[in-house]
Structure 1
Amino acid sequence: MPTYPDLPLPEDGKLAENLAHFARALRKAGLPVGPGRTLDAIRAVEAAGFARRDDFFHTLQAVFVSRPEERATFAQVFRLFWRDPRYMEHMMSLMLPQVRGVAEERAAQAAEKRAAEALLDGQLPPMPETGEAPEQIEIDASATMSAEERLKTLDFEQMSAAEIAEARRMLARLSLPVRPLVTRRSRATPAGRRIDPHRTLREALRRGGEIARLPRKAPVTRWPNLVVLCDISGSMSDYSRMVLHFVHAVANRKGQGWARVHAFTFGTRLTNITRHLRARDVDAALRAAGAEAQDWSGGTRIGQSLHAFNRDWSRRVLGQGAVVLLITDGLDRDDAGLLAREIERLHLSCRRLIWLNPLLRWTGFAPKAAGIRAMLPHVDSFRAGHSIASLEALGQAVSDPGDSGEKARLLALLRE
């Protein structure tokens, strides 16, 4: 929990105005802050006072933060906004182009970047003058991509607040088409390829044994269910939020094929959020889902969560050829034997099991973790799930029974 020194706040009668500006900065940084919360913050500060900086911080955090993953962004905006003597210098250092290692680009850096963008209103500060002629860099425009194409391939974890907002709008337009399932039942139709012998005999009996025509039939088709199991642990929080935006769009788009869409989240326990995704407003739906799931950004117990799903929900939602999307990085603390048994049972209960893993974004990814090694043999398709482009490619994995993604290559690495 961050601590702050006891610095005197201004007594110029503009605290309410400053709180309104602070709320606007939080909204630009991605927090769902509206006028109602701003008024609540003013009343809370009036009631709690602001003699100590820590009390002021926790009072505002209690009003403006409603989900665990919002705490880091709130702390950064608070530190930069409320009288940090070097906040402008820190914001400029955040907004200047930098080359960072892959391991450093985690949630803390993303929160700092969004806070700096919110307070600087998305504008880069001017580069310092050094008196030297700037280096001329030639760029081949023919090799550049449009902003939308670049955003499609950008990692969810590396997106700024503005890029996340645009990515959510793009995810709302995505679809996940699926082919209908051919059942054993049939229906009468003149265009059927097969002769219906029962109807033929019944009509012949009415005519004294004379066969006047040959009735035909065709198989009945129906749409399968889609079941989504989404990991919301700390290492998956940035990806799970974006994937759930996509799942909400699929669940609320009529006429694209799925009979029903069931969604579950898991970290340390399993939570059914299907009813929350039926809300038309995606922000309201995910806010309700976040309130229902109390283990956001916590630990991971994949084996125990799959055991709970197989025991309590498998027979209810996996009947009649359901397709299961499992979104997790596979980094599990449970017993690998338990995880292997439960993922095998899940695989045998559904028509197709597709695993989306954001770790596949790394070129040199290898199945070294015990959880990944236990799960990999029991999935039908193993694909990346870190960007809009990877979610667009899901249509091929769902519709093509022969699509295995990266499974074959990684199984070969396991055998070596």
Structure 2
Amino acid sequence: MTKTAPHSGGTFAENILHFARTLRRAGLPVGPGRVIEAIRAVEVAGIRRRDDFYWTLHSVFVNRRDQWDIFDQAFHVFWRNPELLKKMMDMMLPTTFLDSTKRDDQPELSRRLSEALAPSPAPESDQESEQEEIEINATLTASDNELLQSKDFESMSAAEMEEAKKAMAAMRLPILEVKTRRQRADLRGNLIDMRRTLRASLRSGGATIPLRFRSKVTRHPPLVILCDISGSMAQYSRMLLHFMHALTNDRDRVHTFVFGTRLTNITRYMRYRDVDAALDAVSEKVEDWSGGTRIGATVREFNKFWSRRVLGQGAVVLLISDGLDREGGEGLETEMERLHKSCRQLIWLNPLLRFEGFEPRARGVKAILPHVDQFRTVHNLNSLKDLADILSKPMGAQLEKRSFAA
């Protein structure tokens, strides 16, 4: 079968160009070079089948797993007309447009895509609204920075997500330092160093005995992060990977794992200085992104193969998950109990806790909750700052767990 190549002088290239602009406004890194590659790729692959057209554009515009959802939504909205490909082959459709009506069976569009598909206002109205907005912000409303701090990751636009990523890159997590068994020389120490004291006395022939002191060495405990990347956590896990990258590059002894249906150690990739290179490497390594969740099986795998390696010296464990287990929490309570006993502190960060009416009704949530020291929400920048405040206090002063009615 011969493939139909679109005529280069028609409006087909313009439609792909508009589609690429939509993806760029939604946050995907699409430049002029990729637009040219997409046009050439479609000319080679043809447009006889919608699936071929979809995967041809996908292979050019998508290079990370966390970009799949945005591309998929944008494609099915932008090229919504069922007769679009047939008309494009005849060069009868000059442009594509967004239908204002929305069917009940269609998933809700992400805010990033909705804003990308919205028409841009006129330049004159932009200028007037900008002046008016500046005037109002100066007198009546909170600053944009304060609004961004309290905004849910799930409802952020593409521009707000970029600002939030920059804020997370600058965050520091001051985990309280603890005493170790090691000691070091210290002029103001409270322990007498007998070996150094005797050596100093020999220099004077024993006439004087100058005391030498030492003190306990303190350092922060290891930090272990277990992050859920299943479909229900997709929006939050994408943002929190930036936070995990900032932590890994801010201190030593940080071990990062992600899990969905299997456990993956991504510590090596999180140590890359370039966050884009790190996330690209993670995307290639992780195979179960936005899939199901097997929390019990993955925690069991961590306890069996990794706990002795990374949980030494009183490690602090951050479990980032909504607690929704595909297997109904099978074996989860036993594994969580073992994990809790193996670390200094176990903190559970759950984005569902942001809802006032949240109750632990899911079996996975019920299995995890009795074995955690902290149960906190993680859905915006303020929640991450609260986490830093918690970990900078002594453990006895930070224990707090929300109580739920049975």
Task: Note whether the superposition's TM-score is higher than 0.5.
Answer: yes
User: What amino acid sits opposite 2:259 in the alignment?
Assistant: F
* 1:122–1:316 Cα change, 3 Å: farther
Question: 1:402 maps to which residue?
Answer: 396
Question: 1:162 maps to which residue?
Answer: 159
* 1:54–1:123 Cα change, 3 Å: farther
Question: 2:182 maps to which residue?
Answer: 185
Identity of aligned residues (%): 54
C-alpha displacement at 1:185, in angstroms? 2.2
- The answer on 1:27 being equivalent to 2:24 is yes
Mapping 1:187-266, distance limit 5 Å: 187-204=184-201, 210-253=207-250, 258-266=251-259
C-alpha displacement at 1:37, in angstroms? 3.0
C-alpha displacement at 1:330, in angstroms? 0.7
* 1:59–1:227 Cα change, 3 Å: same
Could you report, residue by residue, the CA deviation over 1:111-164 in whole angstroms, capped at 9, with x for unpaired residues?
A: 3x3223223366599xxxxxxxxxxxxx99977321111111111111122221
User: What amino acid sits opposite 1:311 in the alignment?
Assistant: K
Question: 1:109 maps to which residue?
Answer: 108
C-alpha displacement at 1:305, in angstroms? 0.4
Distance 1:278 1:17 in 2: 41
Gaps of 5+ in 1: 1-8, 95-103, 126-138
C-alpha displacement at 1:59, in angstroms? 2.1
Distance 2:30 2:336 in 1: 40
Distance 1:301 1:44 in 2: 39
Mapping 1:112-127, distance limit 5 Å: 113-120=111-118, 123=121
Query: Structure 1 segments of 4 or more deviating over 6 A?
Result: 139-143
Of 18-27 and 373-382, deviating more is 18-27
Question: 1:101 maps to which residue?
Answer: none
Please give the secondary structure, in 1, of the residue aligned with 2:391: helix
Q: How many pairs does the alignment contain?
A: 377
Of 153-162 and 28-37, deviating more is 28-37
Of 57-66 and 141-150, deviating more is 141-150
Mapping 1:9-408, distance limit 5 Å: 12-82=9-79, 84=81, 88=97, 90=99, 108-111=107-110, 113-120=111-118, 123=121, 144-204=141-201, 210-253=207-250, 258-334=251-327, 336=329, 338-400=331-393, 401-402=395-396, 407=401
Please give the secondary structure, in 1, of the residue aligned with 2:365: helix
C-alpha displacement at 1:317, in angstroms? 1.3
C-alpha displacement at 1:40, in angstroms? 2.8
C-alpha displacement at 1:207, in angstroms? 5.6
Could you report, residue by residue, the CA deviation over 1:34-63 in whole angstroms, capped at 9, with x for unpaired residues?
A: 344333312221111123444323321233
Contact 1:396 1:403 in 2 (8 A): no
Alignment root-mean-square deviation, CA? 3.2
Could you report, residue by residue, the CA deviation over 1:59-115 in whole angstroms, capped at 9, with x for unpaired residues?
A: 212332344543332233234444749975646x79xxxxxxxxx9xx94343x322
Of 12-21 and 389-398, deviating more is 12-21
Contact 2:15 2:96 in 1 (8 A): no
C-alpha displacement at 1:179, in angstroms? 2.5
Please give the secondary structure, in 2, of the residue aligned with 1:117: helix
Of 150-159 and 215-224, deviating more is 215-224
Contact 1:382 1:404 in 2 (8 A): no
* 1:124–1:58 Cα change, 3 Å: farther
* 1:75–1:189 Cα change, 3 Å: closer
User: What amino acid sits opposite 1:402 in the alignment?
Assistant: G
Distance 1:404 1:233 in 2: 29
Of 236-245 and 53-62, deviating more is 53-62
Distance 1:231 1:63 in 2: 28
Distance 1:284 1:204 in 2: 57
**TM-score w.r.t. structure 1 length?**
0.81
* 1:110–1:143 Cα change, 3 Å: farther
Please give the secondary structure, in 1, of the residue aligned with 2:226: strand
C-alpha displacement at 1:224, in angstroms? 2.3
Of 240-249 and 194-203, deviating more is 194-203
Distance 1:158 1:335 in 2: 29
* 1:12–1:81 Cα change, 3 Å: farther
User: What amino acid sits opposite 1:346 in the alignment?
Assistant: L
C-alpha displacement at 1:268, in angstroms? 0.1
* 1:193–1:23 Cα change, 3 Å: same
**TM-score w.r.t. structure 2 length?**
0.82
